[in-house]
Amino acid sequence: MKKTVTALADGRELIYYDRADGRVRDAVDRRPLAAVSTSSEVRRDPLLGDSVAVASHRQGRIYHPPADECPLCPSTGGRLSEIPDDGYDVVVFENRFPSLAGDSGRCEVVCFTSDHDTSFAGLTGEQAALVLAAWTDRTAELAGLPQVAQVFCFENRGAEIGVTLGHPHGQIYGYPFVTPRTGRMLDSARAHREETGRNLFDDVVARELAGERVVLEGEHWAAFVPYAAHWPYEVHLYPRRRVLDLRDLGEDARAEFPRMYLELLRRFDRIFGPGQPPTPYISAWHQAPFAAPGREEFALHLELFTIRRTTGKLKFLAGSESGMDVFINDVPPEAAARRLREVASQ
């Protein structure tokens, strides 16, 4: 992998990740951009203890542009985009409309491919491996920033999820705090250690792999629908050797990941039958925060889920979920796992 760091016209950082070591990236951003001005701040809810990012400048972000005006496609001729070059493998750049910025953290965009009309599931294994390398590199870089306490790499796919740009891409958030969801997992892991003397994640994975909700197994990764899945179709992917974050993955696990992950994504696109539109999903890496108490008890894993509960119907977060954080799942996890096994690649 070759990494080339450059800057956009407004000073934001842009990084090319290339499979070919000899690739030269010297294109210049020719757009007349003013310096980015953000109003991001983090406020703490005194009742719940949650942190909320307030970012009013995001109201002006680009919303469902036509394909020939996509800001994530390469620049060609007189059409200039966020990527100055006329082609790329993987690109990461600072978000022009960040939810978190300055002392409040950092937001980046990850473009998985220059091909506007594909998806992550359409990548080759080599392309997916390069995305994993980019995620890992960004985790390592952001870990060195004093304002970043936790790194979250994720992909939102589909208009139903709220995606406003159709180009295959994801995001990376560098939070200035430990997120509530991670905090709850750390609390549970701490309590489990005190009660049993064992690691909670190790016990959960061992229990799941001995049961009926296993979806896919490899030598270095395993995927299953969790016992208490919140979403109609939800899969958790774990490395078999517990590690804290992407930086700790061994070479064997890195080599096997593309095959495992691409297979899961392709199964998601098949679960509702032939002729259906691509399945909307959220794919989220959970990594240990950098300095939280009990960090050593955490386990890197990826959670993949869709808000579609059946053909033509979505799972909406209504009163119980949105008002009380109590999820009600219409699809039994065992049935979801069975369906995800049925649609395996031939």
Q: Is 153 annotated as a binding residue?
A: no
User: Is position 56 within any domain?
Assistant: no
Tell me: pLDDT of 57 over 70.
no
Least confident of 81-85, 267-271, 309-313: 309-313
Answer yes or no: do 305 and 234 share one domain: yes
What 153-157 contacts at long range (C-beta under 8 Å, 24+ apart), as own/partner pairs, is 153/110, 153/246, 153/284, 153/285, 153/287, 154/282, 154/283, 154/284, 154/285, 155/120, 155/281, 155/282, 155/283, 156/282, 157/119, 157/120, 157/278, 157/279, 157/280, 157/281, 157/282, 157/283
In this prediction, residue 196 carries a pLDDT of: 98
User: Is position 39 within any domain?
Assistant: no
Q: Is 73 annotated as a binding residue?
A: yes
Among 159, 175, 191, the domain-final residue is 175
In this prediction, residue 170 carries a pLDDT of: 98
Q: What are 48's two structure tokens? A: 């719940």
CB 80 within 8 A of CB 31: yes
Tell me: pLDDT of 51 over 70.
yes
Answer yes or no: do 154 and 264 share one domain: no
In this prediction, residue 37 carries a pLDDT of: 73
Q: How confident is the model at residue 64 (pLDDT cuts 50, 70, 90)?
A: low
Q: How confident is the model at residue 58 (pLDDT cuts 50, 70, 90)?
A: low
State the catalytic residues. Answer: 169
Q: Is 107 annotated as a binding residue?
A: no
Answer yes or no: do 115 and 261 share one domain: no
Answer yes or no: do 192 and 130 share one domain: no
How many Å apart are CA 219 and CA 199, to the nearest integer?
21
Residue 303 or 67, more confident: 303
How many Å apart are CA 132 and CA 120, to the nearest integer?
12
CB 299 within 8 A of CB 182: no
Q: How confident is the model at residue 164 (pLDDT cuts 50, 70, 90)?
A: confident
**Position 298, amino acid:** F
Three-class DSSP category at 89: coil
CB 269 within 8 A of CB 279: yes
Tell me: pLDDT of 346 over 90.
no
φ/ψ (deg, to 5) at 169: -160, 165
Give the total number of structural domains in the chain.
2
pLDDT tens digit string along 114-123? 999 999 999 9
User: Is position 18 within any domain?
Assistant: yes
* CATH number of the domain encompassing residue 323: 3.30.428.10
Answer yes or no: do 231 and 253 share one domain: yes
Q: Domain range spanning residue 158?
A: 2-26+75-175
Query: Which runs of E-coded beta strand occur in 218-292?
Result: 221-224, 233-239, 281-286
Tell me: pLDDT of 217 over 60.
yes
Answer yes or no: do 184 and 269 share one domain: yes
Tell me: pLDDT of 287 over 70.
yes
How many Å apart are CA 169 and CA 158, to the nearest integer?
11
Answer yes or no: do 305 and 200 share one domain: yes
In this prediction, residue 55 carries a pLDDT of: 83
Q: Is 220 annotated as a binding residue?
A: no
In this prediction, residue 65 carries a pLDDT of: 75
